[in-house]
Amino acid sequence: MLHALPNLIPFTAIMTRMFRNSVDFPAGVVTAYQEKGFVEAEVKKGCKGRIGHPLSVHIVAPPFRDESVLRAMCDLYDAMKEGMKTEVRTRWLKDPIGQDTLQKLIASDLKDNGGKLGIATEGLLWLKRGQEFMLLMLIFMVRDYRKDKASTESLVSYSKWPTMADPVVEDQSSSSQDEVLQIKTLTKKQIQVLYRLLILIVDNFGGGRKDLFGCEGGRREGTSTAEGRKEEREGGGWKERGVEECEEKRLEGPMGGEEKKDTHSIMSNQVYNTVATLVSLKTTKYSVLGLITLYLLKKLKERSRRNKIQSLYALRIEAAQRERDEIIEWARKESKLVKDEERIRIESMNFMQLRDALQSGEVTAESVIRVYFGLAIEAHEKTNCLTNIIKESLKDAREMDKKAKDPSFKKPPLFGLAISIKEANELAGHRNTWGLAKLVDNYPSEDSYNIMKLRQDGMIPFCQTNVPTTCMTYMTSNSIYGTTTNPHNSSRTCGGSSGGEGALIGFHGSLIGMGSDIGGSIRIPSSYSGCCGFKPSSTRFSTLQLKEPVPMRPINMPTEGPLAQDPHAIVAIMRSIWSDQFMSNADPFSVPIDFREDLFKEEKKYRIGYYTTDGYIDPLPGNQRVVNEAAELLRKKGHELVPFSMEDIVSEMARGMFSTISSDGGERQVKLLEDEPLCHLMSPLRNYAEMPLWRKKLIGWYCKIVGDKTSADAMFVQSKRASDMQDAIDKVYATRKRLVKGGIS
């Protein structure tokens, strides 16, 4: 234990700086030292000298020389011990002198005091401001001195200190190696520090009023005590100075307030400087190692916690996949109950033909649902597009067919048509995960208003389709249901975030489906999979129940919209949804405008603008070619096509979008993706969100230098200030104003 004391010296030095020139001792100490003439005592106000009450004591050191220093320490210890015995608030304590090691001392105290420490801690509660450690050091010195009383070596010569430089080693047979006090491990420097520190502590108790080595006044004029001692050491040892010499150099009068403060300051600085010089390197080394250890322990703890959570997620994911497989097998069996002739007839119909057949009763809703069960499963086996088959859709179809037998029943416009639903759109009683493992058990309690309207118009949701994690990537993959591929080439992507819908409809597994869009989530899958998609203006459909994990409103407004095999299906479903005020009545924030049949049927020639690149991200040559071909077809129809450029404004629009999404510095994304078993597409996004702001700025400058302005914009927009968010919103509205006023060339 003693060999570890030098490592505690910085702590001791800091405590020493707080010590006063007087310290409270029990009455027994006062009595003992008054008899020896070592102390001057004054009664604390209110104590009146009663036994058991601490008194304020100024220790006055006599003219100690050589071995008398430790003898005085022995007397000090004995007086302390006797004083503690007379203290009313403490119990009788076992004398620790004679114990071989501090470990034995502590072990004995624990045993004798019912598991509590005695003199090592509790018995020293009357000592204040960390003086317990000083007394422990004193106990060591006294004990080791008494073991070797025959030594006559000078104690003030550090290198010849008998109890340190040449310690007494106990018999190894009487105790284990661990119990033997390893004084030999102390270096000469450490011994010097311990001895000097002990002297300075005693000197501090004396308040500088008497020099520890026989010179009253404590120091020569113009020099500190430490400097005087240094001069004496350099002169070949401590000089014998007579009382006359000391009297010549002693400071006049008793120690006053300013002089007392000066002596205390000198002592404190001396302790601090001595300790800092000798242990700073070791302290720094251990501090760095300690910080590294704490960091590694923190990381291990985080990894352990993450592994536990991911293990729980893995069980939930496994259950979700098992449920999907079971429901698909059930649907496969149900699809085989339709006669081949009827199946072929239904499969050959497009949306409008099937709608008319259902209205006329040529086919039943139950047969349509069974047939599209089979078609959807075929698409799923090719693309992995399904997350669920809606089992109650078959029950809904039977109920519709039953109602249709009643002559008074008026069939709704979309009676019996099967519709697929993007998994991110809320469907009562069915998973709504957004591709996140933490939301595997999220089951909405009611349909979104848009699905309510579709049901009211006679459509039957029969399956749910896959989405990317958080619906924020242009590829469809998540840790729950895996990756969805392109229906025409499995080595290609189907796009996102309505990628499951695009793949299903592109493979003819569904005639029409409902997706959602904020930055291309309907339009991109439609383009990749070869189907039609329509993103309505954000307030044409209700968005109250369309939740997004990363809020982007009110600037970037999501909206639901249809995907279909042909544009006629999209027109039919939009006409039905906007045929009345259901949407605006359910959601007053949606625009109360019906489907304008007059404008739709109007044979008007339009002036249409187009561009092949926005100057921000250049499209592939094939995409540019398709835009030019579409423009040429429209010209042949008699419309006026006007090319224009948005290169000066798209970058502002992109920065506005990045700013509003990331205005919290990525905190929402970090929290959302925390502990998620992410696919390879989302890992970079989490790394980006967790990246410190200064690193993003640094990478942003690099991207700007090399010409990658897109990445630079994404790095520069991050902030955590509300004012930056407001600035971003202002810029978005300013950009909209430019567009409205024709700010494009």
Q: Report all structural domains of the chain as residue ranges with CATH numbers, in order of start.
A: 2-90+125-170+193-280 (no CATH), 336-590 (3.90.1300.10), 651-740 (no CATH)
Per-position b or e across 183-213, b if 16+ CB within 10 A of its CB: beebeeebbbbbbbbbbbbbbbbbbbbbbbb
Rounded to the nearest angstrom, the gap between the alpha carbon of residue 125 and the centroid of all alpha carbons in its chain is: 41
pLDDT at 279: 52
pLDDT at 111: 62
- Unique residue bearing structure tokens 């383009």: 527
- At 608, is the pLDDT very low, low, confident or very high (cuts 50, 70, 90)? very high
Compute the distance between CA of residue 674 and CA of residue 216 in angstroms, rounded to an integer. Answer: 69
**Counting every residue, how long is the chain?**
745
Burial class (CB in 10 A: 0-12, 13-18, 19+), 340: exposed
Closest residue by Cα to residue 41 from 62, 21, 55: 55
Amino acid letter, residue 409:
F
- Give the start-end residues of each E strand in 29-84: 39-42, 55-59
Cα dihedral 570, 576, 581, 585 in deg (nearest 10): -70
- Residue 151: active-site member: no
- Say whether pLDDT at 255 is over 60: no
Compute the distance between CA of residue 30 and CA of residue 79 in angstroms, rounded to an integer. Answer: 8
Strand order in the sheet with 532-533: 386-389, 460-465, 418-422, 512-517, 559-564, 532-533
3-state SS, residue 42: strand
Closest residue by Cα to residue 185 from 165, 159, 215, 211: 165
- Is the CA virtual torsion 96, 98, 104, 107 positive or negative? negative
Q: How many other CB atoms are there within 10 angstroms of residue 151's CB atom?
A: 16
pLDDT at 414: 97
Of the residues 224, 393, 497, 526, only one is catalytic, namely 497
Say which DSSP state 509 is in: S
Closest residue by Cα to residue 431 from 467, 476, 482: 467
Compute the distance between CA of residue 427 and CA of residue 146 in angstroms, rounded to an integer. Answer: 87
- At 689, is the pLDDT very low, low, confident or very high (cuts 50, 70, 90)? confident
- Say whether pLDDT at 400 is over 80: yes
- Residue 116: active-site member: no
Nearest 5°: phi and psi at 160? -110, 20
Compute the distance between CA of residue 63 and CA of residue 49 in angstroms, rounded to an integer. Answer: 29
- At 55, is the pLDDT very low, low, confident or very high (cuts 50, 70, 90)? very low
- Unique residue bearing structure tokens 């270096």: 187
Beta strand pairing status for 460-465 and 386-389?
A: antiparallel
Closest residue by Cα to residue 150 from 137, 168, 132: 168
pLDDT in tens, 144-185: 544 544 333 333 332 333 333 333 333 333 333 333 223 333
Question: Where is average pLDDT lowest: 228-237, 497-506, 612-621?
Answer: 228-237
Compute the distance between CA of residue 53 and CA of residue 221 in angstroms, rounded to an integer. Answer: 39
Residues sharing a CB contact under 8 Å with residue 456, sequence separation 6 or more, in sequence order: 412, 582
- At 274, is the pLDDT very low, low, confident or very high (cuts 50, 70, 90)? low
Closest residue by Cα to residue 190 from 8, 321, 56: 8
pLDDT at 172: 36
Beta strand pairing status for 460-465 and 607-610?
A: unpaired
Amino acid letter, residue 133:
F
Output the average pLDDT for the chain.
Answer: 70
Let me know: does 498 contact 385? Beta carbons within 8 Å.
Answer: no
Task: State the alpha helices, DSSP H only, in 442-543.
Answer: 449-456, 499-506, 523-529
Compute the distance between CA of residue 11 and CA of residue 6 in angstroms, rounded to an integer. Answer: 10
Say which DSSP state 4 is in: G
Q: In the numeric block, which tokens belong to residue 680?
A: 């390879």
- At 122, is the pLDDT very low, low, confident or very high (cuts 50, 70, 90)? very low
Beta strand pairing status for 39-42 and 418-422?
A: unpaired
Task: Specify which of 114-123, 586-595, 622-631 reaches the highest per-range mean pLDDT.
Answer: 622-631
3-state SS, residue 70: helix
Residues sharing a CB contact under 8 Å with residue 149, sequence separation 6 or more, in sequence order: none
pLDDT in tens, 428-444: 999 999 999 999 999 99
pLDDT at 203: 47
pLDDT at 273: 56
Closest residue by Cα to residue 448 from 583, 570, 539, 578: 583
Of the residues 367, 510, 521, 576, only one is catalytic, namely 521
Compute the distance between CA of residue 616 and CA of residue 526 in angstroms, rounded to an integer. Answer: 22
Compute the distance between CA of residue 47 and CA of residue 53 in angstroms, rounded to an integer. Answer: 6
Beta strand pairing status for 532-533 and 559-564?
A: antiparallel
- Residue 584: active-site member: no
Of the residues 81, 268, 335, 422, only one is catalytic, namely 422
pLDDT in tens, 192-215: 444 454 554 444 444 332 333 333
Closest residue by Cα to residue 514 from 440, 463, 566, 553: 463
As a three-state string, the secondary structure of 408-446 is CCCCCCCCCCEEEEECCCCCCCCCCCCCCHHHCCCCCCC
- At 715, is the pLDDT very low, low, confident or very high (cuts 50, 70, 90)? confident
pLDDT at 521: 93
pLDDT at 480: 95
How many helices (H) and strands (E) would you count in the chain?
27, 13
Q: In the numeric block, which tokens belong to residue 203?
A: 């000197």
Let me know: does 386 contact 328? Beta carbons within 8 Å.
Answer: yes
Beta strand pairing status for 418-422 and 460-465?
A: parallel
pLDDT in tens, 444-497: 999 999 999 999 999 999 999 999 998 888 899 999 999 999 999 999 999 999
Residue 421 region, left (φ>0) first, then alpha (ψ -120 to 50), else beta? beta
- Choose between 619 and 24: higher pLDDT: 619
Nearest 5°: phi and psi at 240? -80, 115
Task: Specify which of 58-67, 361-370, 599-608 reaches the highest per-range mean pLDDT.
Answer: 361-370
- Choose between 373 and 53: higher pLDDT: 373
